[in-house]
């Protein structure tokens, strides 16, 4: 005969890979969510103790305070090169870069393209919030046409600045990339989908399949001059149409990983 | 190992391999490309890391990464590529991560040309990246010395957790001389106390050069300066010839020093009391020995393949005691011994016609 | 009683309101009578009717990992095991 008892269990708490340190990010900034998802994945894969993370220059320059792993801070844009150096000498470690849109899509464009096309076995988390946050809200390569920033005060003028760059599509076109996906953090459903993509990106590295990147549409309430909920809505209304969510490159072995 | 005929660039590469270099990242640029090419062949043979990076900017950051992992890592380049790497040098020096960089200097400024020069002296000893620090700089004058200094470079880099340059020029890089390699050192794991290898059973290590709190950054700078003072006091190196009774000492480093040596020997045959002083460490500059020589000589003649860079360090070391004059060629022009001899002779005659020192 | 409950780390909360908006049961509100040490109005559980299900959607939405979620979970035990444990 069985008895049913009722116990109170913890169903959600801070992942071990995320240090118990209050973050400096603005209220509502989705960096916090992206960090947490990466940390949850590192915990679930059991790789925290052999992970090395590389922080960018940007709001997340302090990522090393928050990820409970060995960390380095790279020069602006150079994280994929540093990651290459580390992964090539310590191939059995899990090496990831965490980069914003200035770091990855402007100054670091050569480094990310070449790390991807070399098929470096690293994982990149790309935070796309269509603006330069840390330096106070200038135009980024990902800033949308007409978007007001401090260096495009009248709204981004395509005649002068050209068009935003879609990184997931760009990197997906390179033969060395194994997995490239774009997800968003603007509501809980998308956050859950984003976590799955992040997990696939790290599993791609663990299986030695090549370069993996997840682009995460993220908010910057402070520099967008929106409240946190409004900022998430702005992602849905304006960013998702320009940067469609989806899987842009999934080589066959990664498809098999995703099925498991 | 046996003495064999070796090209300078190849000797530098192979010497690094003997010293246990585990990672090489570089980019082609004349006149050092053979070093990259030799590494491209040998490193994979030995199961070590090699990547031809997309640029010198990427290369130095790959070196930074590998060095953070606690392994011996290096790159090589030439003047314009060294300029590109300067940001990386500054980060490496600030975060006290050991690494070795070879600069095979060429004519500049700008794209310049591919012939030998020494016009990166200031860049390497003064401004290898922004901020308050100096890298150690070693200047060989022959293929054998390049091999020897390569091993010393890695040892100093690890000993002090610092950036070390091996400063050659296109002539040393390209020439072939008989030389002997040292025995092959085994690869060893190093720096477990700070390297990024995975926080397995320990607290995470963090390597960063960011220090937003100004007093903390000042303290970091003071620590770096304390380290540099130790290096300055204990690691000066030079060599000299015929200085015991010299009234005029010619000062030159690298290839310029070597060519000047021929001129000095010619001057001696003509009866002039001339000697040669050749710095081996450009930083720390061998000022102790040079200022001792200043007590004895009547003048220094500095010979360089630039428009006058090391001469400033010679002047500082001489302390205003004696005149310091200059002879140089630049733009990739390599002086011949005869023209240096002419400069020595003209200066020596001027010194003879002066009243004697008290 | 409520199937679930949450504990909010008030000191770390930045008052961004994303948890309040995400909560399907509408049992999270922002405090109006106090600020935390950083000067933010923290979020708090207000669940007089015991509607929280411990779904953890608030914790997923929170950028500052402020929320720990508890849930009443049925645990099946065999009687013999219970007897020997007793």
Helix (H) or strand (E) holding A12: strand A2-12
**Position B184 in a domain:** yes
**Residue B286: predicted pLDDT:** 98
CATH number (domain holding residue B333) = 3.40.50.920
Helix (H) or strand (E) holding A52: strand A51-55
Print the domain residue range for B343: 238-352
Print the domain residue range for A121: 31-259
Instruction: Please name the member of C17, C67, C76 whose beta carbon is closest to the beta carbon of A2.
Output: C76
pLDDT tens digits for range C17-62? 999 999 999 999 999 999 999 999 999 999 999 999 999 999 999 9
| Separation between Cα atoms, residue B22 and residue C29, nearest integer Å | 57
Which two tokens mark B154? 């890695």
| Separation between Cα atoms, residue A216 and residue A198, nearest integer Å | 10
Listing from the earlier edge strand, what are the strands of the sheet with B99-105? B49-52, B23-26, B73-77, B99-105, B163-169, B136-138, B281-283
Identify the burial level of B29 via C-beta atoms within 10 angstroms of its C-beta, where 0-12 means exposed, 13-18 middle and 19 or more buried. buried
**Position A18 in a domain:** no
Which two tokens mark A25? 């990010």
Residue B165's alpha-carbon distances to A256, B75, B98, B281, B284, in angstroms, are: 48, 10, 11, 10, 12
Minimal CA–CA distance to A85: which of B209, B16, B197, B51?
B51
**Position B358 in a domain:** no
Position C86 pLDDT exceeds 50:
no
Question: Is B57 in Cβ contact with A81 (below 8 Å)?
Answer: yes
pLDDT tens digits for range A213-251? 999 999 999 999 999 999 999 999 999 999 999 999 999
Q: What is the mean pLDDT of chain B?
A: 96
Position B356 pLDDT exceeds 70:
no
Looking at the 3D structure of chain A, how many domains does it have?
A: 1
**Among all chains, which residue has been given the structure tokens 């929280």?**
C52
Q: Nearest C-alpha of chain C: how many angstroms from A146?
A: 27
**Position A129 in a domain:** yes
Length of chain B: 358
Instruction: Please name the member of A48, A73, A113 whose beta carbon is closest to the beta carbon of B208.
Output: A73
**Position A196 in a domain:** yes
Question: Is A2 in Cβ contact with C78 (below 8 Å)?
Answer: yes
Identify the burial level of A238 via C-beta atoms within 10 angstroms of its C-beta, where 0-12 means exposed, 13-18 middle and 19 or more buried. middle
Print the domain residue range for C57: 4-85
**Position B225 in a domain:** yes
Instruction: Please name the member of C60, C67, C71 whose beta carbon is closest to the beta carbon of A191.
Output: C60
Which two tokens mark B238? 């030079």
Closest-CA residue of C relative to A34 is C63
**Position A15 in a domain:** no
Length of chain A: 260
Per-residue pLDDT, averaged over A26-41, amounts to 98
Position B189 pLDDT exceeds 90:
no
Closest-CA residue of A relative to C76 is A4
pLDDT tens digits for range B143-180? 999 999 999 999 999 999 999 999 999 999 999 999 99
Domain termination site, one of B210, B234, B258:
B234
Cβ within 8 Å of A, C 46-85: 54, 56-57, 59-65, 67-79, 82
pLDDT tens digits for range B113-132? 999 999 999 999 997 899 99
Question: Is A12 in Cβ contact with C68 (below 8 Å)?
Answer: yes
pLDDT tens digits for range B231-279? 999 999 999 999 999 999 999 999 999 999 999 999 999 999 999 999 9
């Amino acid at each position: 005969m069985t008895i049913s008892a009722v116990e109170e269990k913890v169903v959600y708490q801070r992942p071990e890979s995320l240090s118990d340190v209050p973050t400096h990010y603005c209220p509502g900034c989705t960096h916090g969510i992206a960090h947490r998802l990466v940390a949850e994945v590192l915990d679930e894969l059991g790789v925290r103790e052999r992970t090395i993370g590389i922080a960018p220059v940007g709001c997340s320059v302090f990522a090393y305070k928050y990820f409970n792993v060995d960390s380095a801070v790279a020069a602006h844009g150079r994280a994929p090169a540093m990651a290459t150096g580390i992964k090539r000498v310590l191939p059995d470690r899990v090496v990831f870069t965490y980069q914003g849109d200035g770091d990855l899509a402007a100054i670091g464009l050569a480094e990310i393209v070449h790390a991807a096309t070399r098929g470096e076995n690293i994982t990149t988390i790309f935070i796309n919030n269509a603006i330069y946050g840390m330096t106070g809200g200038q135009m980024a390569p990902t800033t949308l046409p007409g978007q007001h920033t401090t260096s495009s005060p009248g709204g981004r003028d395509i005649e002068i600045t050209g068009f935003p760059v879609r990184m997931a599509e760009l990197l997906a076109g390179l033969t060395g990339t194994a997995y490239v996906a774009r997800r968003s953090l603007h509501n809980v459903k998308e956050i859950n989908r984003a976590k799955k993509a992040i997990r696939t990106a790290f599993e791609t590295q663990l299986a030695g399949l090549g370069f993996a990147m997840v682009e995460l549409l993220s908010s910057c309430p402070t520099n967008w001059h929106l409240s946190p909920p409004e900022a998430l809505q702005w992602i849905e209304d304006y960013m998702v149409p320009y940067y469609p969510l989806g899987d842009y490159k999934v080589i066959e072995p990664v498809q098999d990983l995703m099925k498991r | 190992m046996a003495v064999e005929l070796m090209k300078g660039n190849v000797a530098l590469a192979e010497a690094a391999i003997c010293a246990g270099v585990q990672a090489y990242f570089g980019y082609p640029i004349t006149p050092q490309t053979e070093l990259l090419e030799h590494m491209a062949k040998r490193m994979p043979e030995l199961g070590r890391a090699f990547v031809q990076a997309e640029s010198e900017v990427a290369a130095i950051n790959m070196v930074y990464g590998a060095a953070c992992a606690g392994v011996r890592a290096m790159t090589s380049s030439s003047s314009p590529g060294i300029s590109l790497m300067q940001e990386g040098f500054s980060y490496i020096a600030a975060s006290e991560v050991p690494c070795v960089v070879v600069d095979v200097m060429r004519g500049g400024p700008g794209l310049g040309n591919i012939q030998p020069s020494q016009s990166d002296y200031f860049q390497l000893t003064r401004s290898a990246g922004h901020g308050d620090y100096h890298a150690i700089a070693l200047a060989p004058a022959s293929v054998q010395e390049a091999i020897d200094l390569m091993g010393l470079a890695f040892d100093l880099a690890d000993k002090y957790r610092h950036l070390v340059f091996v400063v050659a020029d296109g002539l040393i890089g390209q020439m072939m001389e008989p030389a002997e390699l040292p025995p092959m050192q085994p690869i060893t794991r190093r720096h477990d106390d700070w390297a990024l290898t995975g926080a397995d059973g320990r607290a995470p290590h963090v390597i960063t050069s960011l220090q937003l709190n100004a007093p903390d950054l000042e303290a970091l700078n003071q620590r770096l300066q304390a380290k540099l003072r130790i290096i300055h006091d204990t690691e000066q190196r030079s060599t000299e010839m015929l200085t015991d009774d010299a009234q005029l000492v010619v000062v030159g480093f690298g290839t310029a020093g070597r060519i000047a040596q021929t001129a000095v020997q010619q001057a001696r045959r003509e009866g002039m009391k001339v000697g040669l002083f050749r710095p081996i460490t450009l930083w720390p500059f061998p000022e102790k020995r040079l200022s001792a020589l200043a007590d004895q000589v009547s003048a220094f003649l500095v010979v360089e393949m630039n428009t006058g860079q090391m001469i400033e360090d010679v002047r500082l070391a001489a302390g205003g005691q004696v005149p310091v004059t200059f002879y140089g060629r630049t733009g990739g022009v390599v002086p011949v011994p005869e023209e240096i001899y002419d400069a020595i002779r003209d200066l020596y005659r001027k010194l003879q016609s002066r009243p004697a020192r008290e | 009683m409520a199937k679930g409950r949450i504990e909010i780390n008030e000191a770390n909360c930045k008052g961004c309101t994303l948890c309040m908006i995400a909560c399907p049961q509408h049992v999270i509100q922002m405090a109006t009578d106090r600020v935390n040490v950083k000067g933010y109005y923290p979020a708090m559980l207000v669940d007089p009717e015991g509607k929280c299900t411990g779904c953890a959607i608030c914790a997923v939405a929170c950028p500052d990992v402020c929320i720990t979620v508890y849930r009443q979970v049925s645990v099946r035990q065999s009687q013999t095991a219970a007897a020997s444990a007793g």
